[in-house]
Amino acid sequence: MQTVLIVLVILATAATIASGLWVATGLIAAITSVKPPASVPPKAEHPDHP
């Protein structure tokens, strides 16, 4: 019973740290892929004769 308890606690600890690392990789991907906002293209002129 004691061993089961401590093993569960260790597994929970490992899972928590793994979650932190997973989110860290997602965060790095997100902040390195930020692109400057695309500039708005000038409105196309309406052709007189479509």
Partner 1 sequence: MHTVVSVTLVASYVVVLTFVAVRARAAREYAEFSLARRALPLALVFGSLCATYVGPGFSIGFVGKGFQSGFLFFGIGLAYSLQNVLVGVLVAPRLRALNDCHTLGDAIGQKYDRRCHVLAGVISVGLCTGYAAVMAKAGGVVFKDVFGLPLWSGVVLIVGITTLYTTSGGLRASVVTDAFQFTAFAILLPVVLVLALGFHLEGGIAGFAERAAVATQDGLASKTPFQIIGLVTAFLLGETLIPPYANRALASRTTRVSKHAFVLGGLFSVVWFAVMISLGVAARGIVPAGTDEDHVLLNMVKAIMPTEGYMLLLVVSISVIMSSLDSLLNAGAVVFTQDIVRPIHRLVDGKALDVGRTATVMIAVAAAVAAAAVPTIIDGLLVCYTIWAPAILPVLVLGLWLKKPRPLAGILSMVVGALVAGLSQLAVGGATRVPAILPALGAAVLAYFIGHLLSREKGE
Q: Which residues bind partner 1 (CB under 8 A)?
A: 1-3, 5-6, 8-9, 11-13, 15-17, 19-27, 29-31, 34, 37
Nearer to partner 1, 37 or 41 (CB): 37
Tokens (6 digits) for 40 = 């708005």
* Residue 44 beta carbon to partner 1: minimum distance, rounded to whole angstroms: 22
The end-to-end CA distance of the chain, in Å, is 82
Q: Return the SS3 of 46.
A: coil
Q: How far is CA 39 from the centre of its chain?
A: 25
> Could you tell me the smallest distance in angstroms from the CB atom of residue 10 to partner 1?
8
